[in-house]
């Protein structure tokens, strides 16, 4: 297809590399070096989308990050869909597939469109609040349709096929923006030897110099760019990052850069390459050389396709060799706007008029315009654009000196493009991210960064320096300063010579008056993405919204994905004028990260799929996998849940595992339990202070159960601690609580009792722990050890012994979480699997059965053993749990929680207390979490007594068992409570002891 708007020469595109692409289902062609927007302009595509609220046709306005309209959906396949891409920032590649995101149901004709009024009346400023919030239920309906019409793009329905990652960077100097100021800053800083990262959001570095008419060192400015980049690229201490947007500026000079590594190459990233990378940069010094965004002028119907920024017109012509129309009217308040007219004329097309709002402009550009014979309308403005889907004329009228009134009748000038320049707004965004507030500068006619809160400086247009010589000088200065700040010595650099036109003063003008007042005039758009008009802002101030933050929220000014880069300052100026204030008094809203939208892929990086969260494995993990275990996540550990045999239901597996353990011997991988080695002469004293029970007399070789409470007296962890030596203990914790318990111990040691001589170390991972439980466990262990006396009189319940198990040095603890005869065998983890397999070799004749966490839960519940975190929830003290025996109140030194559990509320008799529960119908297993009531017939909301904390079917008992809390439950043994369930059933249960099996504890003492 012919590129009707492509110039025959010039530009930075490569005409030897043609490319095809599609937009909205149509095929077009472009060249390497194009952006999607320049290629669309080359093909004469005017209408890119329709507006959100009024459905008005919209075209390309800008050439960079400030573009509000040309937001497209990219992706040739479902898996490679990317929403919210600015066509102005998307490099063209062969085969690119793009769709408009706005304009449901179609670009050419849509529901909202044509009259532009279907929704318009229903969407006044503040429409979210006024119209849609009530009735609340209707919001869901509105939102669906508003989102669809708003053109927000869509997320892919298939997983992303590309990879994204993160890279941490540390640098002396980070320079943001590779225009004249950024490049000269980088050069100066890098020559000092400082490590420099230079990041720029565009595919090609150079910024405004790539389309500038000015000359540096007697040559085209782009030559200086090329020379500078070549020198920088040759330096080891420089990292150049093109296609990389510095999107977030966080505290402590931590910045995030979104680098698009392969988005310019194709729909998918090449193999073994990451598509996008998030650089997480910690910089000693930052130079913001982010430039400025040109402000369009606000006039009637200024959203018609063909209305563009003056600088964008120049950029398209000079950099991309495309011309967005045939006949141009350019309006400007300053000299920069003249360049568009000159470039247009040089491209061989017709400049209808150059409209300057100033009464007596001076400067080289004005002279040149006269010399070129361009029709110059001084003291005039374009008050209105005419046309339906494209500009067909501009209405131009004379303007008062202050720009606030028209002083004569309008003239209609036929044209298809209106370029406007209202001056330049420094791109202060990053300077705001950490809390800096921009300040208004009358000379700049814009907000410039206020006092910096970071180790950071600014250079170039962001500082309000708009001339090239000034930008180069400031860049050099700030580059040297950055190097100095980072500890390097920067040599004074000679500045390049610059030829650029001398400029006259600019005029502060934002909204062009119309013959009719703002509320009556055709719409004058301020924010294109959210269809915010000058009239809407006026209305908001009339309705009493005086803070600029409120105006923003009420009108949705700057709420779009462009964050109001184009319209914010104009909107603030209009608000200020309408309130008879100065812009400085009105102030500005500020920006937060991210500067431009970032893909979720780049945010997630490689933290996805099986690398999303660490999986912790025990030394026997591979065995569990090979033996068909299903796993349960406990903290980050993968614990075997149960080991189903072919054809078994879960309950059948659990029944088999439970019965085998109670009747023979079962084995559990208990390696995940936290293990803390405690050494030091005060170890015993320390343990006595963190546990509720007594430790003073525990002899070497003995083990004891302990409860750990917070200061509030509430149980948060429990476990068995063994006395390994007079000054040496091994504490065990719950699997999930291990890290917290160690931190808790360290906290108390370091802050409260630093005088105690004790060292705590985690040995959780060092010891592989296997629990053999059941009446045959002693016989099994006897087959594997000959140096531990297993006689029941010498190796008693709650003793531990050191010896050799399966030829491996081991500590064996005769403790039990099942109520059975049980041994916990600890061996160094390197030999864990070998010992485990040796146990199975010898265990075959005892039908040694592996069991998982679910069977462990059932077996311990049969004995009424609690699980901290399941049967407790941070509101239960030891007495609530019936564990009075585990509190020793007369220890010489207090213990953590002693005072807390004696608070008045903790002594109430009607607290929720842990009890056993037996359903009247033994086959019904109560759901955990079910709430007990005394009278199931009472009206809702019922008076609830407490909930079920643990509930299982016990094959050993042939019935269901449960534990739960009941108000005053310890006094209610034998009474009946009712559990109304969500399905309408009411389950009747008797309050019992939590000891369902072997209440005298005889099984573990054999």
Partner 1 sequence: MSELQTDTRVSIMNQMPEAGVTARSALYFSQAATQPVFGPGQAQVFLWEDALRGQLVIRGDAGNTDFAKGVSSALDLALPGQLSSSVSATMALLWIAPDEWLLLCDLEQAFAIETRLRDALTGHYAVINVSGGQTQIRLAGSAAASVLQKSMPYAVSDAHFPVGKVVTTALSKTQATVRRIDSTDWELTVRRSFADYAWRWLTDASREYGLHLGQPEHNEN
Q: Which is nearer to partner 1, 536 or 829 (CB)?
A: 829
Give the nearer residue to partner 1 in terms of CB position, either 412 or 607.
607
Q: Which range binds partner 1 by CB under 8 A, 580-588, 755-763, 977-985, 987-995? A: 755-763
Q: Inter-axis angle of helices 468-485 and 180-191, to 10 degrees?
A: 30
- Rounded to whole angstroms, what are the CA distances from 492 to 9, 477, 759, 871? 40, 9, 57, 72
Residue 803 touches partner 1, criterion: CB under 8 A: yes
Span near partner 1 by CB under 8 A; candidates 557-565, 832-840, 848-856, 964-972: 832-840
Least spacing, CB of residue 610 vs partner 1, in Å: 7
From candidates 165, 204, 467, 685, binder to partner 1 by CB under 8 A: 165
Instruction: By CB under 8 A, tell whether 853 contacts partner 1.
Output: no
Return the residue of 604, 833, 933, 995 that touches partner 1, per CB under 8 A: 833
Q: Does position 785 bind partner 1 by CB under 8 A?
A: no
**Number of residues binding to partner 1, judged by CB under 8 A:** 63
CA-to-CA distance for 59 and 389, rounded, in angstroms? 9
Nearer to partner 1, 26 or 802 (CB): 802
Residue from 26, 27, 106, 273 binding partner 1 (CB under 8 A): 273
Sign of CA dihedral 356, 358, 364, 366: positive
DSSP 20-59: EEEETTEEEEEEET-BHHHHHHHTT----EE-TTT--EE-
213, 550, 766, 959: residue in contact with partner 1 (rule CB under 8 A): 766
The answer to whether residues 962 and 989 touch, using CB atoms and an 8 Å cutoff, is yes
Structure tokens at 598: 């970032």
What DSSP string describes 52-66?
A: TTT--EE----SSTT
Output the six-digit token pair for 768: 């592989």
Q: Does residue 764 bind partner 1 (CB under 8 A)?
A: yes
Least separation in angstroms between CB 865 and partner 1: 25
Instruction: Give every CB contact of residue 531 below 8 A, 6+ residues apart in sequence.
Output: 51, 52, 53, 54, 56, 123, 525
| 832 forms part of the interface with partner 1 (CB under 8 A) | yes
Helix (H, G, I), strand (E, B) or coil at 15: strand
Piece of the chain touching partner 1 by CB under 8 A; list 33-41, 445-453, 504-512, 619-627: 619-627
User: Least distance to partner 1 from the beta carbon of 702, Å?
Assistant: 13
Measured from the CB of residue 295, what is the shortest distance to partner 1 in angstroms? 40
Interatomic CA distance for residues 466 and 336, integer angstroms: 9
Q: Based on the shown chain and the rule CB under 8 A, indicate whether residue 167 belongs to the binding site for partner 1.
A: yes
Contact between 879 and 901 under an 8 Å Cβ cutoff? The reply is yes
State the Cα–Cα distance between residues 140 and 169, nearest whole angstrom: 44
Span near partner 1 by CB under 8 A; candidates 30-38, 455-463, 678-686, 963-971? 678-686
Comparing CB distances to partner 1, the nearer of 363 and 803 is: 803
**Binding flags for partner 1, 812-831, as an x/- string (CB under 8 A):** ----------------xxxx
Residue 762 contacts partner 1 per CB under 8 A: yes
Neighbours of 680 (CB within 10 A): 17
Residue 426: closest CA among 288, 253, 249, 285: 288
Question: Least distance from C-beta 198 to partner 1, angstroms?
Answer: 17
Residue pair 175/466 in contact (Cβ under 8 Å)? The answer is no
Q: Which of 21, 127, 342, 637 binds partner 1 (CB under 8 A)?
A: 637
Minimum distance of partner 1 from residue 253's CB (angstroms): 13
Contact criterion met (CB below 8 Å) for 463 and 451: no
Cβ-contact 333, 361 below 8 angstroms: no
Nearest distance from C-beta of residue 760 to partner 1, angstroms: 9
Q: State the minimum distance, in angstroms, from the CB of residue 613 to partner 1.
A: 7
**Edge-first strand listing for the sheet containing 350-356:** 307-309, 417-421, 327-332, 350-356, 376-378
Residue number, 163 or 527, with CB nearest to partner 1:
163
**Using the rule CB under 8 A, is 809 a contact of partner 1?**
yes
Counting contacts by CB under 8 A, is residue 169 touching partner 1?
yes
Cβ nearer to partner 1, comparing 611 with 907:
611
Interaction between residue 725 and partner 1 (CB under 8 A) = yes
Helices (H), 607-671: 621-626, 650-663
CB of residue 168 to partner 1, shortest distance in Å: 5
CA dihedral sign, ordered 140, 141, 146, 152: positive
At closest approach, how far in Å is the CB of 129 from partner 1? 42
**Cα-based torsion angle of the residue sequence 260, 264, 270, 272 in order, rounded to the nearest 10 degrees:** -20
Residue 250 contacts partner 1 per CB under 8 A: no
Cα angle: 884, vertex 890, 895; to 5 degrees: 80
**Residue 974 interacts with partner 1 (CB under 8 A): yes or no:** no
Separation CA 251–CA 573 (nearest Å): 31
If one counts every other C-beta atom within 10 angstroms of the C-beta of residue 940, the result is 5
Task: Measure CA 901 to chain center.
Answer: 41
Q: Which of residues 357-396 bind partner 1 (CB under 8 A)?
A: none
**Token code pair at residue 324:** 């967005």
Question: Looking at beta carbons only, is 10 or 701 nearer to partner 1?
Answer: 701
Q: What's the CA gap between 733 and 729, in Å, rounded?
A: 13
- Give the residue, chosen from 2, 607, 792, 908, that forms a contact with partner 1 under the rule CB under 8 A: 607
- Reading phi first (left if > 0) and then psi (alpha if -120 to 50, else beta), residue 242 is in beta
Structure tokens at 99: 């769709």
Question: Considering only 376-384, 460-468, 554-562, 806-814, which stretch makes contact with partner 1 by CB under 8 A?
Answer: 806-814
Cβ 674 to partner 1 shortest distance, Å:
11
Q: Which stretch binds partner 1 (CB under 8 A): 242-250, 266-274, 295-303, 547-555?
A: 266-274
Q: For the CB of residue 614, give the shortest distance to partner 1 in the complex, in Å.
A: 4
Q: Which is nearer to partner 1, 6 or 684 (CB)?
A: 684
Shortest Cβ 648–partner 1 spacing (Å): 27
Phi and psi angles of residue 421, each rounded to the nearest 5 degrees, phi first: -135, 120
| In the complex, minimum distance from the CB of residue 768 to partner 1, in angstroms, rounded to a whole number | 7
Cα–Cα dist 340/312, whole Å? 8
Q: Which two tokens stand for residue 431?
A: 């300077």
Select the residue interacting with partner 1 from 224, 249, 316, 767 (CB under 8 A): 767
Q: Which is nearer to partner 1, 611 or 986 (CB)?
A: 611
Q: Measured from the CB atom, is 423 or 832 closer to partner 1?
A: 832
Residue 548 or 815: the one with the smaller Cβ distance to partner 1 is: 815
Q: Is 170 in the site for partner 1 (CB under 8 A)?
A: yes
Interface residue with partner 1 among 144, 606, 796, 920 (CB under 8 A) is: 606
The CB-of-540 to partner 1 minimum distance in angstroms stands at 44
Rounded CA gap, 251 and 472, in Å?
A: 28
Q: Does 726 bind partner 1 (CB under 8 A)?
A: yes
Selected range binding partner 1 among 23-31, 54-62, 200-208, 671-679, rule: CB under 8 A: 671-679
Q: How far apart are CA 559 and CA 68, in angstroms?
A: 11
Q: How far is the CB of 728 from partner 1 (least distance, A)?
A: 4
Cα gap 878→862, rounded to integer Å: 20
Q: Exactly one of 532, 724, 848, 961 binds partner 1 (CB under 8 A); which one? A: 724
Q: How far apart are CA 341 and CA 328, in angstroms?
A: 7
Place of tokens 């050890």: 785
Contacting residues toward partner 1, per CB under 8 A: 165-170, 195, 272-274, 280, 282, 606-607, 610-611, 613-619, 621-622, 637, 672, 677, 679-681, 700, 724-728, 757, 759, 761-768, 787, 802-804, 806-809, 811, 828-834
């Amino acid at each position: 297809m012919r590129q009707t708007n492509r110039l025959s020469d010039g530009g930075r595109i490569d005409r030897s590399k043609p490319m095809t692409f599609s937009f909205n289902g149509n095929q077009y062609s472009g060249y390497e070096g194009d952006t999607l927007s320049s290629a669309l302009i080359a093909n004469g595509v005017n209408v890119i989308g329709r507006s959100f609220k009024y459905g008005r046709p919209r075209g390309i306005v800008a050439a960079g990050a400030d573009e509000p309209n040309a937001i497209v959906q990219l992706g040739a396949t479902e898996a490679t869909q990317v929403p919210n891409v600015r066509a102005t920032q998307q490099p063209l590649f062969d085969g690119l597939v793009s769709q408009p995101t706005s304009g449901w149901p179609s670009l050419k004709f849509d529901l909202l469109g044509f009259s532009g009024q279907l929704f318009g009346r229903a969407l006044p400023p503040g429409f979210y609040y006024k119209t849609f919030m009530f009735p609340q239920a209707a919001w869901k309906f509105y939102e669906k349709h508003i989102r669809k019409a708003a053109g927000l793009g869509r997320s892919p329905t298939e997983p992303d096929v590309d990879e994204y990652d993160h890279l941490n960077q540390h640098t002396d100097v980070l320079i943001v923006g590779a225009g004249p100021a950024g490049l000269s800053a980088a050069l100066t800083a890098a020559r000092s030897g400082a490590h420099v990262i230079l990041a720029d959001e565009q595919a090609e570095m150079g910024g405004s110099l790539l389309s500038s008419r000015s000359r540096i060192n007697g040559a085209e400015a782009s030559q200086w760019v090329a020379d500078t980049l070549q020198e920088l690229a040759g330096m080891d201490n420089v990292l150049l990052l093109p296609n990389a947007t510095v999107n977030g500026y966080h505290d402590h000079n931590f910045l995030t850069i979104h680098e698009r590594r392969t988005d310019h190459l194709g729909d998918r990233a090449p193999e073994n390459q990451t598509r996008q990378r998030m650089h997480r940069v910690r910089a000693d010094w930052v130079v913001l050389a982010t430039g400025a965004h040109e402000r369009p002028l606000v006039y009637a119907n200024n959203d018609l396709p063909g209305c563009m920024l003056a600088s964008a017109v120049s950029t398209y012509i000079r950099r991309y060799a495309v011309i967005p129309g045939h006949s141009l009217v350019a309006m400007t308040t300053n000299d920069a706007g003249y360049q568009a007219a000159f470039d247009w004329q040089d491209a061989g097309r017709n400049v209808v008029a150059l409209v300057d709002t100033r009464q007596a402009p001076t400067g080289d550009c004005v002279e040149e315009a006269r010399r070129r014979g361009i029709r110059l309308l001084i003291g005039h403005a374009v008050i209105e654009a005419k046309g339906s889907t494209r500009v067909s004329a501009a209405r131009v009228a004379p303007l008062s000196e202050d720009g606030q009134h028209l002083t004569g009748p309008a003239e209609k000038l036929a044209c298809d493009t209106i370029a406007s320049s209202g001056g330049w707004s420094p791109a202060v965004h990053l300077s705001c991210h950490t809390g800096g507030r921009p300040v208004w500068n009358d000379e700049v006619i814009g907000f410039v960064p206020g006092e910096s809160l970071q180790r950071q400086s600014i250079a170039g247009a962001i500082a309000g320096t708009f001339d090239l010589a000034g930008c180069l000088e400031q860049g050099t200065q700030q580059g040297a300063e950055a190097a100095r700040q980072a500890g390097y010595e920067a040599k004074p650099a000679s500045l390049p010579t610059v030829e650029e036109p001398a400029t006259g003063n600019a005029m502060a003008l934002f909204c062009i008056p119309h013959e009719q007042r703002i509320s009556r005039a055709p719409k004058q758009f301020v924010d294109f993405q959210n269809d915010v008009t000058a009239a809407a802002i006026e209305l908001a101030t009339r309705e009493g919204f005086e803070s600029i933050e409120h105006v923003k929220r009420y009108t949705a000014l700057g709420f779009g994905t462009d964050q109001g880069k184009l319209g914010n300052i104009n909107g603030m100026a209009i608000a200020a004028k309408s309130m008879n204030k100065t812009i400085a008094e009105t102030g500005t809203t500020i920006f937060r990260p991210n500067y431009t939208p970032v893909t979720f892929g780049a945010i997630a990086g490689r933290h996805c799929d099986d690398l999303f969260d660490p999986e912790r494995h025990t030394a026997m993990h591979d065995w569990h996998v090979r033996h068909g275990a299903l796993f349960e996540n406990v903290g980050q550990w993968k614990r075997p849940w149960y080991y189903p045999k072919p054809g078994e239901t879960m309950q059948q597996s659990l029944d088999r595992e439970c019965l085998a353990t109670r009747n023979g011997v079962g084995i559990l991988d208990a390696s995940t339990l936290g293990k803390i080695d405690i050494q030091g002469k005060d170890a015993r004293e320390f343990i006595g202070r963190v546990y509720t029970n007594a430790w003073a007399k525990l002899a070497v070789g003995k083990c004891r159960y302990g409860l750990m409470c917070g200061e509030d007296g509430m149980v948060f962890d429990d476990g068995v601690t063994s006395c390994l030596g007079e000054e040496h203990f091994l504490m065990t914790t719950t699997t999930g609580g291990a890290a917290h318990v160690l931190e808790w111990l360290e906290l108390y040691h370091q802050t409260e009792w630093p005088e105690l001589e004790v060292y705590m170390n985690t040995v959780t991972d060092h010891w592989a722990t296997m629990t053999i439980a059941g009446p045959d466990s002693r016989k099994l262990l006897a087959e594997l050890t000959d140096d531990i006396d297993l006689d029941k009189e010498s190796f008693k319940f709650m003793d531990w012994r050191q010896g050799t198990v399966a030829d491996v040095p081991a500590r064996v603890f005769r403790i039990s979480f099942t109520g059975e005869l049980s041994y916990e065998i600890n061996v160094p983890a390197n030999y864990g699997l070998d010992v485990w397999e040796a146990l199975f070799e010898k265990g075959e004749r005892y039908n040694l059965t592996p069991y998982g966490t679910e069977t462990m839960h059932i077996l311990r519940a049969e004995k009424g053993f609690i699980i901290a975190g399941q049967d407790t929830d941070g509101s239960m003290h030891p007495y609530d749990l019936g564990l009075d025996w585990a509190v020793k109140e007369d220890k010489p030194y207090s213990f953590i929680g002693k005072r807390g559990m004696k608070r008045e509320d903790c002594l109430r008799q009607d607290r929720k207390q842990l009890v056993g529960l037996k359903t009247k119908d033994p086959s019904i297993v109560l759901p955990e979490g079910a709430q007990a009531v005394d009278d199931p017939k009472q009206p809702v909301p019922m008076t609830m007594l407490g909930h079920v904390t643990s509930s299982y079917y016990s094959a050993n008992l042939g019935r269901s068992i449960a534990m739960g809390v009941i108000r005053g439950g310890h006094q209610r043994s034998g009474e009946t409570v009712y559990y109304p369930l969500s399905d309408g059933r009411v389950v009747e249960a008797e309050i019992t002891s939590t000891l369902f099996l072997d209440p005298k504890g005889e099984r573990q003492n054999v």
